[in-house]
Amino acid sequence: MKRKLAGLLVCALCLTLSACGSDGTAVYVQSVERLAAMGGIAPGNRFLGMVVSEHTAEINRDADKTIAELLVKEGDDVTEGQALFSYDTEELQLNLDKKNLELQQLKSSIETYKQKIATLEKERDTVSGTARLQYTVEIQSAQVDQKEAELKLKTKEDEVKKAQELLDNSTVVSPITGRVQKINESDTTGSDGKPAAYIVIQQSGSYRVKGVLGELQRGSLKEGDRVKLVPRTDDNTVWTGSVTLVDYENPSQGSETDRNMGIASDEMSTASKYPFYVALDSTDGLMLGQHLYIELDTGDDAPGVGISGAFLCYNEDGSAYVWAEKGGKLEKRAVTLGDYDPMTDVQKITEGLSLEDYIAYPDPELCQPGAPTTHDQPVVETEPVMEPVVEEGGGM
């Protein structure tokens, strides 16, 4: 039943996306790697992954200050204490000078009030009656003004101290050693509604691997599954680990990390993708941002590529082939079959096909040897729906 359902989904999607034309129109061919990785057409046990940091540091900017110079760019490796950016010191110095001037004016006002109070007290001692009472009222009023000025003085002293600290710390440094993942030049806000961090740094040495499941790969991984990881350029190096989280609660439709991993937004751009994370048994030899293939560790180390059985064709003698691209043309390519998984309809191809190849969904009437190929997804045109014409004064 699962195989039949998978086949129906594959056929429905591929018939929508295919553009096999024996009349000279280009045949739409799809990346074997992407088909396997995205899971929407060719469910398999290999997923795209990237080495990310388990810990990140977010550095915010002061919205009230102007940045004079940005000293790093995305992708740069930085060390703890390294300068990231600096604020405009001229503006900070002007602000400090202004607050110092206001501070001196308050101190001068307090001295003036003290002198005034002393003078009034001396004059009050020389008079009596109503005149003495008037002096007392003036003295009390001056004392209130002095107290207010003293309170303002304490506030202004704090402002001067902070302004001096801002000037002294006009260069912002990295709190950790790692790699600059993101620099936010705009004033956008994050998903929580708060201003997005100006710079995000991934910490070095605390690695894990982030992978992505396609919509039809739901359920193909679970927490605790053992996996092996190989670099895209060297199948001889292998790391191992365990799936720690499959995040079905927070699907994405083409995040920045997805794009970094090579998952484009053209085909199946509206299909949800689900991140999962792998804790590594060892991080020796790994680099932050390194691209990897993630495979279920089933104990099957036989070489080959797993694709959906819907992409296979068979000759009369039972030998199998696929419609593959070669030099911009479509060819009928013989393949050697390995193990078949009826639960997922995944057929392993041991010879004749690699992840770097492009293949077309087979249509026996349209796919022909030598037909031109294209990687551009075709646009499916639909016939307009004609509204029924109702004559005046009559029914349908």
Lowest mean pLDDT among 39-48, 117-126, 226-235, 364-373: 39-48
At residue 99, the pLDDT reads: 94
Residue linked to tokens 């029914």: 395
At residue 341, the pLDDT reads: 75
> 13-51: per-residue pLDDT in tens?
444 444 445 556 788 998 887 766 543 333 346 788 999
Residues 6 or more apart whose CB falls under 8 angstroms from that of 246 comprise: 213, 221, 222, 223, 274, 276
Question: Is residue 1 predicted with pLDDT exceeding 60?
Answer: no
**Max alpha carbon distance in the chain (Å)?**
131
Please list, residue by residue across 83-105, b when 16 or more beta carbons sit within 10 angstroms of its beta carbon and e when fewer do: ebbebeeebbeebbeebeeebee
What are the tokens at 110? 């307090």
- 36-50, 113-127, 334-348: which has the highest mean pLDDT? 113-127
Instruction: Cite the DSSP H helix spans in the chain.
Output: 2-17, 32-38, 89-124, 129-168, 256-260
Lowest mean pLDDT among 16-30, 203-217, 226-240, 329-343: 16-30
Lowest mean pLDDT among 8-17, 130-139, 237-246, 387-396: 8-17
Average pLDDT of span 279-300: 83
Lowest mean pLDDT among 15-29, 91-105, 240-254: 15-29
> 162-190: per-residue pLDDT in tens?
889 878 878 899 999 988 988 998 766 65
At residue 11, the pLDDT reads: 42
What percentage of the chain has pLDDT greater than the value 90? Answer: 38
Whole-model pTM: value is 0.42
At residue 111, the pLDDT reads: 95
At residue 7, the pLDDT reads: 44
Closest by CA position to 307, among listed 23, 39, 54, 25: 39
